[in-house]
Chains A and B, each alone.
Chain A
């Protein structure tokens, strides 16, 4: 070959195109099989996909909000102990992300969301087998790194210019709740109406799930973040400090769970929901910082803020001492 370099540019361009396209196309999940939102999701793509994978009747697949990572991990293990031969497979992510995946044809038996909006997306796509049940509730807290580089001592400090605040993106339940809390604080005595706007000016990053917010704070990159109280049990006590948000300005996040249509494991899925709502399941959730759900009753949709059942809250979870 006399001139290998002459076609280098062409090859490079072609390869470069492929590399560049592949790098971002990995975020495009299944455009070909995208579900048309106007009609209910056909079960056919799911069944066809199932034909390619070996039958897994003993595996319960649960899509769960990122904030449920440890709690569902423990609940899943406990459930497996009760039902021998059954495996619980958990997939965690931002609720909005999981809802999008389900819409695009991902297969699961159960969907546990951190808010009713993501659940509504799945419901509108015709994917729910029954009405959701609220199995847990949650509240928000402000966290800072242990070293508190931003010197955030009070809630009002969040508005101080130069503070690096990290929140979940608006589409993420935790992000929406956080902005709602800022809204309420803006109308509280002692805070000026401009509070929310000034705080959001300090926003340096919008994460795609609440655990990414926790991560940035733990790493000391962010000065402050707003996350769920239950996330505290996932972070080692020495790494973060907690600023409490007074109940009357806080939101109560209601977590709905529902069985998904097309799952051949409907009875097993229903059993898992019953387990979560039972005394043992609720105890697991409470240990991880969650508030009680609606034990044994179907969900009241839309009840995400304001008056919540005044359930007895346990004392501060480990590492939650606010200084």
Chain B
């Protein structure tokens, strides 16, 4: 398809602008760092602590978000029900809340003197100042990214497959596991990656709700922020390490190249007469993109 020249120019201009906005800061960061300094810092226990903490908490947070968010996404992808709009709004809320405000309200809810504080204390749990609190803060801020994407992906699954499975007497649970999930897998994976990335970069809610203590709650973003105030070279090195780790994981996931998984067919189905206006959707299942 040949694009008209004006359209191409507009595309090119937008692309240049976005690449500049996102790429230049990244580039200037990478250009300013000195490799030997970087290597030296990677061996410092404080840095390794922060890195380990960041990776562990963001992974746990993403697991939590997927576990709790997938059923919610399933609900949001389905037909309307009373309160659905309210649920959708609630799910979007952390995305529009300033992170520090989020940390504050988390304290008001789960802090020692918070609404649920006494109950948690009875169970022997205090959240603030613990690594668990970091996971909670990250999960809170990153949940909308997964749920929205997952719901959109689940919504995209063609009804005909769900109906077909239903006519074959599959229960809703089976339909979800064997039809919806495999077909929506790329979207679910994309949502999980987005959520993980947001969790990794989480700062405001973490420092307000979980606090800042090296080895316990000081994740990489917190370490960078504090280093900025006293040691710019340390901030530089920490930032590069964080960016490289993030990029590495994303590239790794990208090369996994998740595709919709087609159910294994024991025998090819008899060719059905094409319905009017039908698209060759069945063929699409086995095609390489």
Q: Do A and B come together as binding partners? A: yes
Which A positions have Cβ atoms within 8 angstroms of B? 2-13, 15-29, 31-32, 34, 37, 94, 96-97, 99-100, 103, 145, 149, 164, 166, 169, 171, 203-208, 216, 219-221
A/B interface sample: 29 pairs, CB < 8 A:
A2-B279, A5-B184, A6-B260, A8-B190, A13-B250, A16-B190, A16-B198, A18-B22, A21-B197, A24-B220, A24-B224, A24-B239, A25-B25, A27-B228, A28-B228, A31-B25, A31-B29, A31-B32, A100-B230, A171-B226, A171-B229, A203-B213, A205-B129, A206-B211, A208-B207, A208-B212, A208-B229, A216-B211, A219-B113
List the B side residues contacting A169 at CB < 8 Å.
212, 226
CB distance from A213 to the nearest CB of B (A): 11
Contact assessment for A206 and B212 in the assembled complex, using a CB-CB cutoff below 8 Å: yes
Q: A6-B186, A19-B197, A208-B229 are in contact. Are A219 and B111 (CB under 8 A)?
A: yes
Contact of A27 among B28, B149, B190, B224 (CB under 8 A): B224
Contact B250 A16 (CB under 8 A): yes
Judging by beta carbons under 8 Å apart, are A221 and B201 in contact?
no
Chain B residues near A25 (CB, 8 Å)?
25, 201
Task: Give the 8 A-B CB pairs with smallest separation, nearest first.
Answer: A12-B190, A205-B211, A20-B197, A23-B201, A220-B113, A16-B194, A16-B197, A204-B129
Determine which of B25, B200, B216, B254 lies in contact with A28 in the assembled complex, contact meaning CB atoms within 8 Å. B25
**Bound Cα distance A204, B203 (Å):** 17
A12 close to B191 (CB less than 8 A): yes
CB nearest to B26 among chain A residues: A21
- In the complex, the answer to whether B239 meets A205 with C-beta atoms within 8 Å is no
CA distance A94 to B226 in the complex (A): 11
Considering the chains assembled together, what is the distance between the CA atoms of A6 and B284 in angstroms?
11
Q: Chain B: interface residue count, which band? A: 35 or more
B92 interfacial contact with A, CB 8 Å? no
Contacts of A22 in B (CB 8 A): 201
Contact of B226 (CB < 8 Å), options: A10, A29, A208: A208
Chain A interface mostly helix, strand, loop or mixed? mixed
Contact A24 B113 (CB under 8 A): no
- B69 is an interface residue with CB less than 8 A from chain A: no
B257 proximal to A (CB < 8 A): yes
Of the candidates A9, A97, A166, the one whose C-beta lies within 8 Å of that of B258 is: A9
Q: How far is the CA of A27 from the CA of B201 in the complex (A)?
A: 10
Q: Do residues B24 and A20 form an inter-chain contact, with CB atoms below 8 A?
A: no
Q: How many Å lie between the Cα of A242 and that of B28 in the bound state?
A: 48
Contacts of A100 in B (CB 8 A): 228-230, 232
Q: What's the minimum C-beta distance from B241 to chain A, rounded to whole angstroms?
A: 12
Contact flag A17-B107 (CB < 8 Å), given A12-B190, A205-B213: no
A110 vs B279: C-alpha distance when bound (angstroms): 70
Bound Cα distance A207, B187 (Å): 39
> Residues of A contacting B230 with CB < 8 Å?
96, 100, 171
Q: In the bound complex, how far is the Cα of B229 from the Cα of A96, in angstroms?
A: 6
CB-based contact B212/A5 at 8 Å: no
Considering only CB atoms, which chain B residue lies closest to A172 in the complex? B229
CB-based contact B247/A166 at 8 Å: no
The answer to whether A3 touches B190, judged by C-beta atoms less than 8 angstroms apart, is no
Q: Which of A7, A28, A34 has the most CB of B within 10 A?
A: A28
Q: With a CB–CB cut-off of 8 A, which chain A residues contact B99? A: 23
CA distance A219 to B115 in the complex (A): 12
Chain A residues in 8 Å Cβ range of B26? 21
